[in-house]
């Protein structure tokens, strides 16, 4: 078997799909870095802004909320940019995207039905952060667990009790919270 490719054929092949796929990947990485930097810079300004002047100003909680929001926005931008780049690469490889998009809608619906608890946890986490119910370092009582909040995420809150046990509580399961750190100062 003899391989009869001229330099021109190899060059034409390389300047086709492989070069365009490489450009798509480089642009996707560049756009992700730019968006990540913009999100981080914007939310760091939000974290340092004095929205609540006076004694009750809790800058550490505001920073934690801004950090959580930045994490969520960065993850979302990575997913969206990756999805778009992946679709463009599949298009360059000659894959027909019409049936793929149609089946993705059906699969998305099925996954959405199966992932209702995750969606509920995330929405509960967003609402909990917006309402400032508790934050890192607060002494709380949640679901029969008493302790200090170690981390607050969109899906899970971690609390360390007095014996040193670290509890992972899904935000969608938290129906009531007792926060002794937010007691009235009258």
Q: Residue 144 is part of a domain; what is its CATH number?
A: 2.30.30.60
> In a structure prediction context, what are the per-residue pLDDT tens digits for the chain, which is 186 residues long?
455 567 677 677 777 788 889 999 999 999 999 999 998 888 888 777 665 555 555 666 677 777 777 877 888 889 899 989 998 998 888 888 888 777 877 777 777 777 788 888 888 888 887 777 888 888 999 888 999 998 888 788 999 999 999 999 998 888 888 888 776 554
- Look at residue 151 in the predicted model and tell me its pLDDT: 85
pTM beyond cutoff 0.75: no
Is residue 64 in some structural domain? yes
Is residue 121 in some structural domain? no
Over 2-40, what HEC string results? CCCCCHHHHHHHHCCHHHHHHHHHHHHHHHHHHHHHHHH
Q: Residues 64, 146: one domain? A: no
CA distance 3 to 35: 46
Domain of residue 51 covers: 13-114
Percent helix, strand and coil across the chain, each to the nearest 5: 60, 15, 25
Is residue 167 in some structural domain? yes
CATH number at residue 33: 1.10.287.1260
Q: Residues 98, 170: one domain? A: no
- Look at residue 130 in the predicted model and tell me its pLDDT: 75
**3-class secondary-structure state, position 109:** helix
Structurally, the chain folds into a number of domains equal to 2
Helix (H) or strand (E) holding 177: strand 177-179
Q: Are 113 and 98 in contact (CB under 8 A)?
A: no
Q: Residues 68, 148: one domain? A: no
């Amino acid at each position: 078997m003899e391989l009869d490719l001229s330099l021109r054929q190899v060059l034409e092949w390389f300047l086709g799909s492989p070069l365009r796929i490489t450009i798509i990947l480089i642009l996707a990485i560049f756009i992700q870095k730019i968006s990540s930097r913009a999100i981080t810079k914007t939310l760091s300004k939000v974290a340092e802004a004095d929205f609540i002047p006076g004694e009750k100003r809790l800058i550490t909680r505001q920073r934690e909320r801004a950090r959580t929001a930045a994490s969520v926005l960065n993850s979302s931008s990575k997913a969206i940019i990756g999805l778009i780049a992946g679709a463009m690469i599949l298009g360059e490889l000659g894959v027909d995207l019409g049936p793929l998009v149609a089946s993705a809608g059906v699969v998305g619906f099925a996954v959405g039905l199966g992932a209702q608890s995750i969606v509920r946890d995330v929405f509960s986490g967003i609402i909990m952060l917006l309402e400032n119910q508790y934050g890192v370092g607060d002494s709380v009582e949640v679901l029969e667990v008493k302790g200090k909040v170690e981390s607050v995420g969109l899906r899970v809150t971690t609390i360390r009790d007095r014996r040193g046990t670290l509890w992972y509580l899904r935000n969608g399961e938290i129906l009531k919270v007792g926060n002794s750190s937010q007691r009235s100062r009258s």
